[in-house]
Amino acid sequence: MIKAKINNIPVEVEKGVSILDAAKKAQIKIPTLCKHPDLPAGAGCGLCIVRIKGTPKMLRACSTPLEDGMEITTHDPEIVAVRRTVLELILSNHPNDCLQCGRNNNCELQTLVADFGIREESFQKFLPETEKDDSTRTIVLDPQKCIRCGRCVKVCQEMQNVWALSFLERGFCTRISPAGDIKLADSPCIRCGQCSNHCPTGAIVELDETAKVWELLQDQSKYCVVQIAPAVRVAIGEAFGYPIGTNLTRKLYALLRRLGFKAVFDTNFGADVTIMEEGSEFLQRFLHGTGPLPLITSCCPGWVDFMEKFHPDMIDHFSSCKSPHEIVGVLSKTYYAQKKNIDPKNIAVVSIMPCTAKKNEIIRCEEMYASGCQDVDVALTTRELARMIKQAGIDFVNLPDEDPDHMLGDYTGAGVIFGATGGVMEAALRTAYFLLNGKNMDKVELNQIRGLEGVKVAEIAINGKKIRVAVAHGLNHVEYVLNKVREAEKNNEEIPYHFIEVMACLGGCVGGGGQPYGVTDELRIKRASGIYQDDHDAKLRCSHENPFVQQLYKEFLGKPLGEKSEHLLHTHYQSRPVYVK
Amino acid sequence: MTEEKKNMQQEIASLVEKWKDKEGNLIMILHELQNYFGYVPRAAALELSRALQTPLARIYEVITFYNFFKLEPPGKHIISLCLGTACYLKGAPVLLNEIKTLLNIEEGQTTKDGLFQLDVVRCLGCCGLAPVIKIDEKVYGKVQKNQVMGILSEYSEHQKEG
């Protein structure tokens, strides 16, 4: 252990911990704009400088490990003055567009400038003309607002292994852009939105589509229905002062009705249907060899995009089952439309998602139009919904609890855990166990595949058969799992896993790119525990038990993997170029 | 596959083979590519990315970090305009503006037809002839603004004949 003093307060931390993190333990906040708890230190912004006794220079706290006996000063007039100058210099290359900015009131730079009480411009502004890039139709890159902290580049390259964004040129000309200054849509970008979630300013934000939804809600000819994804319910509260991880499912139902939606559904119902289809697909392959193993989950559109670009050799391993919100979308415009006798053309489906990639998924291929029109009309992120609530003047905190609309709204515990890493696998195994054994597991929780470990593996014995599974989240963890599969195939060895779950974002959807800002591991864990609590409290915890799912198959679909299911609930994948240009 | 593309792939494969076990090989390969093509074509960078299993983003980070590497093909004729002290005092800035206006390009750029590339240099070692313009290997000394058009047209004429 390292013992030192920060502002005369004794601190004790493990070797290697930075001064920045050590100071937090002493309840001292050192400002930074480039260091993010998810990312290695980059020593980019220069705000975290501190003074160490006996050292003439001020050093950066983010990249200096605490050493034994250090005596550190984090705040004195001179240090604060230097930080102030750093901020003023950043402002000299940053527009004063705060009022119209996507990060207004939620911007790390704006907050610091306010905290430091900077009231005037000390340096002449220099703002080169730049062009916004909204080519992905999911996120918007505004280079003029970039402060070159490098978080998005680290996220894109190291956390996600996508390498769409890079630091080009140097010095004054340094900029964040895809290689060769092409548009993001022509780059390897998978639209996961993690860059937007880690950006300290408004340089990368989600494409705001709330106007589209307001318009649909105003349109008298439209029958607007809505669904919320599992991870949204435990994160939306952060925008309204709730403790992190508070589950607001039933308040959200009430809210969405107040916004004007005629029916309020739940993506968790779609998740239960996904399990019926994907679970059956798995068992078909596992028992009857109808397709290659391992089967790989495909509900994460960022992961689907990544696989199509970087691992097209895995296409045959992918579950053809659509993602839960697409399932609710297509069922709204077929099953629900028929039952309610509404022309599907007049139904508008809005999905509230923790994810920016879902904005692209809704148009990704022809199967997303299986109902005869676009199955999901608009996908909003959690952040966009929070803005809509505030615009609508609804006192969200004091809303009563309500229930969802039946048919496509009721869910089991298995449906809600889709929002956390390992959840899809856990839900699938609960139902696979039932289908193989004829009874439910005694203990449905599979703790081995919960939590934030990058790659989680488990072996589950069902009816004398052993099923080996792997769960990966954060795309930099995927390669390891896929290479194991490839190695075994090459050497003609037994496959290492029968079933693999991948989520593009760390922590799964609770850590999605469309979730409220400020994500850390602590936050991911708290949001996930909100989800697991919902599962724990559920009366029914296995997808096959959902009476509305049973009714759906009985009245409409027939059976899992049947003709109608294949037509409405399944899709295909194709190899795509990493670079279009 | 075109002949050109095949040649490029072979060239890159042999470069990767040559440098694969050495540290810092990306920069060395880029040097060789630039010597071979006169610049680093995007197609070559993409092929190198595949062959070296290095993301294109990383390759471009290196290319754009160093002034030495070019992403655009060099012009057919390279105009080196001296802005060294002597040339500067003798009126080189006027010549620079004249060339920029006539060719409609900035420093370091190449004309749309690819005929001229305009580079600004510091001292060509013949200050007695200031202000000096060098086009390819030919040196023009004591150049006046009204001579620039004539000098450039020598090369445009060649182009037409050729």
Span A228-259, pLDDT tens digits? 999 999 999 999 999 999 999 999 999 999 99
Backbone angles phi, psi at A465, to 5 degrees: -100, 140
Same-domain pairing of B144 and B109: yes
Residue A159 DSSP class: I
List CB contacts of A150: < 8 A, sequence separation 6 or more.
A34, A42, A44, A167, A176
Tell me what percent of the residues of chain B surpass a pLDDT of 90: 59
Same-domain pairing of A474 and A399: yes
Same-domain pairing of B91 and B28: no
Q: How far apart are CA A530 and CA A523, in angstroms?
A: 11
Contact B60 A168 (CB under 8 A): yes
Band (pLDDT 50/70/90 cuts) for residue B142 is very high
Which of A157, A165, A169 is opposite residue B64, by nearest beta carbon? A169
Residues on chain A touching B61 (C-beta within 8 angstroms): 166-168, 179
pLDDT computed for residue B23 by the predictor:
82
Please answer whether residues B115 and B156 qualify as being in contact, where contact means their C-beta atoms are separated by less than 8 angstroms.
Answer: yes
Number of other CB atoms surrounding residue A541 within 10 Å: 22
| A80 domain-assigned | no
Place of tokens 């979308």: A329
Same-domain pairing of B82 and B149: yes
Is pLDDT of B161 > 60? no
The stretch A302-309 carries a mean pLDDT of: 98
- Provide the shortest C-alpha distance from residue B30 to chain A (in Å): 15
- Provide the shortest C-alpha distance from residue B53 to chain A (in Å): 12
Please answer whether residues A40 and A63 qualify as being in contact, where contact means their C-beta atoms are separated by less than 8 angstroms.
Answer: no
Substitution target from A166, A167, A170 for chain B, most B beta carbons within 10 A: A166
Place of tokens 């069922």: A331
Band (pLDDT 50/70/90 cuts) for residue A389 is very high
**CA-based nearest residue in chain B for residue A165:** B57
Find the chain B residues whose C-beta atoms sit closer than 8 A to any C-beta of A.
Answer: 42, 45-46, 55-61, 64-65, 71
Residues on chain A touching B71 (C-beta within 8 angstroms): 180
Contact A163 B42 (CB under 8 A): no
- How many CA atoms lie less than 13 Å away from A52 in the CB half-sphere? 19
Is pLDDT of B159 > 80? no
Same-domain pairing of B94 and B149: yes
The stretch A278-286 carries a mean pLDDT of: 95
Task: Indicate the residue among B17, B32, B65 that finishes a domain.
Answer: B65
The residue range of the domain holding B7 is 3-65
Please answer whether residues A418 and A230 qualify as being in contact, where contact means their C-beta atoms are separated by less than 8 angstroms.
Answer: yes
Contacts of the segment A521-524: beta carbons below 8 A, 24+ positions apart: A521/A37, A521/A38, A521/A452, A523/A244, A524/A452
Q: How far is CA A386 from CA A86, A357, A437, in A?
A: 33, 18, 44
Same-domain pairing of B95 and B32: no
| B72 domain-assigned | no
Cis status of the peptide bond prior to A294, with omega within 30 of 0 = yes
Same-domain pairing of A405 and A293: yes
Same-domain pairing of B82 and B136: yes
Same-domain pairing of A199 and A215: no
Same-domain pairing of A177 and A313: no
- Provide the shortest C-alpha distance from residue B41 to chain A (in Å): 11
Residues on chain B touching A163 (C-beta within 8 angstroms): 55-58
Please answer whether residues A185 and A360 qualify as being in contact, where contact means their C-beta atoms are separated by less than 8 angstroms.
Answer: no
Please answer whether residues B99 and B81 qualify as being in contact, where contact means their C-beta atoms are separated by less than 8 angstroms.
Answer: yes
Residue B74 DSSP class: P
Domains contained in chain B, number? 2
E strand residue ranges, A14-87: 49-52, 58-60, 71-73
**CA-based nearest residue in chain A for residue B66:** A169
pLDDT computed for residue A161 by the predictor:
97
Task: Indicate the residue among B12, B36, B65 that finishes a domain.
Answer: B65
Same-domain pairing of B45 and B86: no
Give per-residue pLDDT as tens, A146-157: 999 999 999 999
| B71 domain-assigned | no
**CA-based nearest residue in chain B for residue A176:** B61
Structure tokens at A230: 């599992």
Same-domain pairing of A275 and A382: yes
Same-domain pairing of A31 and A146: no
Same-domain pairing of A181 and A218: no
pLDDT computed for residue A210 by the predictor:
97
Residue A192 DSSP class: -
- Range in A80-84, A136-140, B17-21, B90-94 with the lowest mean pLDDT: B17-21
Contact B46 A170 (CB under 8 A): no
The stretch B40-65 carries a mean pLDDT of: 94
Which CATH number is A45's domain given?
3.10.20.740
DSSP-assigned beta bridge partners for residue A459: A468
- Provide the shortest C-alpha distance from residue B21 to chain A (in Å): 22
| A100 domain-assigned | no
Same-domain pairing of B154 and B106: yes
Please answer whether residues B81 and B96 qualify as being in contact, where contact means their C-beta atoms are separated by less than 8 angstroms.
Answer: yes
Task: Indicate the residue among A155, A173, A206 that finishes a domain.
Answer: A206
The residue range of the domain holding A559 is 211-569
Which of B42, B45, B55 is opposite residue A163, by nearest beta carbon? B55
ipTM: 0.91
Radius of gyration of chain B (CA): 19
Task: Quickly list DSSP for A479-548.
Answer: HHHHHHHHHHHHTTPPPS-SEEEEESSTTGGGG-TTSPS---HHHHHHHHHHHHHHHHH-S--SGGG-HH
Residues on chain A touching B67 (C-beta within 8 angstroms): none
Same-domain pairing of A238 and A362: yes
Is pLDDT of A81 > 90? yes
| A108 domain-assigned | no
For A518, counting Cβ atoms within 10 Å of its Cβ (0-12 exposed, 13-18 middle, 19+ buried), the class is middle
| A116 domain-assigned | no
Substitution target from A152, A154, A169 for chain B, most B beta carbons within 10 A: A169
Contact B61 A157 (CB under 8 A): no
Helix (H, G, I), strand (E, B) or coil at B107: coil
Same-domain pairing of B42 and B81: no
The stretch A129-152 carries a mean pLDDT of: 96
Band (pLDDT 50/70/90 cuts) for residue B160 is low
| B70 domain-assigned | no
Number of other CB atoms surrounding residue A120 within 10 Å: 5
Contact B56 A164 (CB under 8 A): no
pLDDT computed for residue B162 by the predictor:
43
Band (pLDDT 50/70/90 cuts) for residue B1 is low
Q: How far apart are CA A491 and CA B117, in angstroms?
A: 55
Domains contained in chain A, number? 3
Structure-derived torsion over alpha carbons of residues B79, B84, B86, B91, reported in degrees to the nearest 10: 50
Contact A166 B57 (CB under 8 A): yes
Contact B57 A179 (CB under 8 A): yes
Q: Which of A125, A151, A135, A111 is nearest to A185 (CA)?
A: A135
Strand order in the sheet with B138-140: B116-121, B77-82, B133-135, B138-140
| A516 domain-assigned | yes
**CA-based nearest residue in chain B for residue A163:** B57
| A89 domain-assigned | no
pLDDT computed for residue A41 by the predictor:
94
Q: How far apart are CA A506 and CA A529, in angstroms?
A: 15
Residues on chain B touching A479 (C-beta within 8 angstroms): none
- Provide the shortest C-alpha distance from residue B16 to chain A (in Å): 21
Same-domain pairing of A260 and A393: yes
Which CATH number is B118's domain given?
3.40.30.10
> Mind telling me the catalytic residues of A?
278, 281, 299, 319, 358, 361, 367, 509
pLDDT computed for residue B6 by the predictor:
85
Is pLDDT of A560 > 80? yes
Same-domain pairing of B33 and B94: no
| B139 domain-assigned | yes
Is pLDDT of A330 > 90? yes
Q: Which run of H or of E encompasses A176? A: strand A175-177
Same-domain pairing of A171 and A56: no
Backbone angles phi, psi at B134, to 5 degrees: -115, 130
The stretch A355-378 carries a mean pLDDT of: 97
Measured at the alpha carbon of residue A260, what is the angle toward residues A258 and A208, in degrees to the nearest 5?
100
Tell me what percent of the residues of chain A surpass a pLDDT of 70: 100
Give the number of A-B residue pairs with CB atoms closer than 8 Å: 36
Contact A163 B57 (CB under 8 A): yes
Residues on chain A touching B65 (C-beta within 8 angstroms): 169-170
- Provide the shortest C-alpha distance from residue A167 to chain B (in Å): 6
The stretch B89-108 carries a mean pLDDT of: 93
Contact A166 B71 (CB under 8 A): no
User: For chain A, first and last CA: distance in Å?
Assistant: 52
Is pLDDT of A563 > 70? yes
Mean pLDDT over all residues of chain A? 96
**CA-based nearest residue in chain A for residue B50:** A578
Same-domain pairing of A290 and A366: yes
Helix, strand and coil percent figures for chain B, each rounded to 5: 55, 10, 35
Substitution target from A160, A161, A163 for chain B, most B beta carbons within 10 A: A163
Which CATH number is A139's domain given?
3.30.70.20
Please answer whether residues A244 and A284 qualify as being in contact, where contact means their C-beta atoms are separated by less than 8 angstroms.
Answer: no
Q: How far apart are CA B84 and CA A67, in angstroms?
A: 51
Task: Indicate the residue among A50, A75, A100 that finishes a domain.
Answer: A75
Please answer whether residues B69 and B63 qualify as being in contact, where contact means their C-beta atoms are separated by less than 8 angstroms.
Answer: yes
Contact B46 A163 (CB under 8 A): no
pLDDT computed for residue A378 by the predictor:
98
Contact A168 B42 (CB under 8 A): no
Task: Indicate the residue among B13, B32, B65 that finishes a domain.
Answer: B65
Please answer whether residues A314 and A255 qualify as being in contact, where contact means their C-beta atoms are separated by less than 8 angstroms.
Answer: no
Helix (H, G, I), strand (E, B) or coil at A175: strand
Please answer whether residues A2 and A12 qualify as being in contact, where contact means their C-beta atoms are separated by less than 8 angstroms.
Answer: yes
Which of A157, A170, A179 is opposite residue B60, by nearest beta carbon? A179
Radius of gyration of chain A (CA): 25
- Provide the shortest C-alpha distance from residue B56 to chain A (in Å): 6
Same-domain pairing of B86 and B34: no
Find the chain A residues whose C-beta atoms sit closer than 8 A to any C-beta of B.
Answer: 157, 163-170, 178-180, 578-579
| A333 domain-assigned | yes
Residues on chain A touching B54 (C-beta within 8 angstroms): none
pLDDT computed for residue B140 by the predictor:
95
Same-domain pairing of A152 and A51: no
